[in-house]
Amino acid sequence: MAEKWVAARYGSLDGVELIDTEVPAPGQGEVTIAVKAVGMNPADVKGIQSGQDPAALPLPIGYEAAGVVSAAGPGISLEVGTEVIAFRVSGGYATELTVPAEDVFVKPQGLDWPAAANLMLAGATAADMLRVVEPQEGDTILVHGASGAVGVSVLQQARLMGLRVIGTASEQRFGVVEEFGGTAVVYGDGLEARIRSLAPEGIAAALDCVGTDEAVDVSLALVADRSKIVSIAAFGRAADEGYRVVGGADPESKAFRDSQRQRLVDLAADGSLVVPVARTFPFAEAPAALELLSSGHPGGKLALLV
Ligand SMILES: NC(=O)c1ccc[n+]([C@@H]2O[C@H](COP(=O)([O-])OP(=O)(O)OC[C@H]3O[C@@H](n4cnc5c(N)ncnc54)[C@H](OP(=O)(O)O)[C@@H]3O)[C@@H](O)[C@H]2O)c1
């Protein structure tokens, strides 16, 4: 018997409950993982707050986790005891999970559990945003929310592509933007003018990891070609304004993100992609962790430790 967190109802985080669950034995093409750390993402909160489908309740929470293979189905080459990362899974907030082996990757030894559990969703999203806007080496790009989980991964992947990044953040988070090679700029009134003075060469593409009207307006003002603007959070205005939006459920994005998982593991293994973790919580304290996540300023990634 395992434990997992689910949302019993939509709307507020008050409906999040810990329940006992049977973990099925792994079938053909599956492995069971004893979870060590659960990765947390804003989508975990959004799914609870804005979910609509009563048939999906109780709602599983979480898309990524890391742990140790505890059982393997027929034909699986992963041995029991192998340290692994699982993404994308449904219901990652669990002490044990049975998942398709194709979504399981060997964890680099040097990567700790909280970072491993948080590597994939933000990393694959960042890669997808860069795919969509196709920047060229030497370009300057704008990243809204460069201090956030996706933003920090964009910074590092952009550096590998030879790009210059102007990244928005709160002043107290400038350090993380600069640590990963970005030029930090504070969001808020006057943002467009501040960016123009930091990038007289012009902005080749804008990547919005925030979703505010300010992020959209400034992107539209600075980047004439709307196919070079992508958002992962401002869905409402995209059709009218003509910029790109991407989500993990879009077939093209899903296929691309899946294709990036081993690359992300390899980058993490050689140290060229790091996952700054702000705080870990005991598994039993998921509600408190979700509250911090819902603030919009978690200060780095959060993980639940089993
Ligand atoms: N569509 C997709 O496929 C997809 C995938 C992943 C994430 N997302 C979405 O993308 C967003 C970012 O995800 P994440 O994991 O990077 O979140 P995160 O780690 O919580 O980071 C949030 C970021 O937003 C910034 N921020 C908060 N309020 C702001 C404001 N009023 N103006 C400007 N910036 C503000 C924060 O900056 P400071 O902390 O410096 O203030 C921080 O950089 C979330 O909305 C998430 O749901 C979408």
Flag whether 254 is in a domain: no
Q: Tell me, what's the pLDDT at 21?
A: 96
Q: How many residues does the chain have?
A: 306
pLDDT of the residue at 279: 98
Residues 75 and 38 in one domain: yes
Nearest CA to ligand 1 atom 25: 145
Q: Which of 187, 219, 254 to mutate to test the pocket of ligand 1 (most atoms within 8 A of CB)?
A: 187
User: Three-class SS string for 101-116?
Assistant: HHHEEECCCCCCHHHH
Cα 145 to averaged position of ligand 1 atoms, centre (Å): 6
Neighbours of 28 (CB within 10 A): 10
The answer as to whether 13 is a domain residue is yes
pLDDT for 257: 98
User: 63 and 180: one domain?
Assistant: no
pLDDT in tens, 215-241: 999 999 999 999 999 999 999 999 999
| 106 domain residue, yes or no | yes
Using the mean position of ligand 1's atoms as its centre, give its distance from the Cα of residue 13 in Å: 19
Q: From the alpha carbon of 170, which atom of ligand 1 is closest?
A: 40
Q: Are residues 128 and 245 in the same domain?
A: yes
Same-domain check for residues 236 and 134: yes
What would the DSSP string read from start to end of 8-61? Answer: SSSSSGGGEEEEEEPPPPP-TTEEEEEEEEEE--HHHHHHHHH---GGGPSEE-
CA of 79 to the centre of ligand 1 (A): 37
Check residue 120 and give its pLDDT. Answer: 98
State whether 23 and 103 are in the same domain.
Answer: yes
Structural domain tally of the chain? Answer: 2
Question: How far is residue 11's CA from residue 231's CA, in Å, rounded to a whole number?
Answer: 24
Tokens 């300057």 sit on residue: 140
pLDDT at residue 228 in the model = 98
What is the predicted pLDDT for the residue at 268?
98
> Is there a single domain that holds both residue 59 and residue 164?
no
Tell me, what's the pLDDT at 244?
98
Statement: the pTM of the whole predicted model exceeds 0.85: yes
Q: Kindly give the distance from the C-alpha atom of residue 149 to the centroid of ligand 1, in angstroms, as a whole number.
A: 7
Say if residue 77 is in the same domain as residue 135. no
Query: In the prediction, which pLDDT does 47 show?
Result: 97
pLDDT at 147: 97
Q: Quick one: 96 and 132 in the same domain?
A: no
Q: Specify the CATH number for the domain of residue 25.
A: 3.90.180.10
Question: Does a structural domain hold residue 255?
Answer: no
User: Token pair of 37, please?
Assistant: 């750390």
189 plus 243 within the same structural domain:
yes
What pLDDT, on the 0 to 100 scale, is given for residue 114? 98
167 and 225 in a single domain? The answer is yes
| Same domain membership, residue 131 and residue 114 | no
Pocket of ligand 1 contains residue 276 by CB under 6 Å:
no
> Ligand 1 centre from 41 Cα, in Å?
10
Positions in the chain whose pLDDT score sits under 70: none
Give a yes or no: residue 257 inside a domain.
no
- Domain around 153: 124-249
What letter does residue 75 receive in the DSSP assignment? T
Which ligand 1 atom minimizes the distance to the CA of 293? Answer: 20
Alpha carbon separation from 2 to 20, 61, 68, 108, 222 (Å, rounded): 6, 15, 14, 26, 51
Q: Rounded to whole angstroms, how far apart are CA atoms 82 and 188?
A: 47
Residue 268 lies in a domain: no
Residues 290, 206 share a domain: no
pLDDT of residue 252: 98
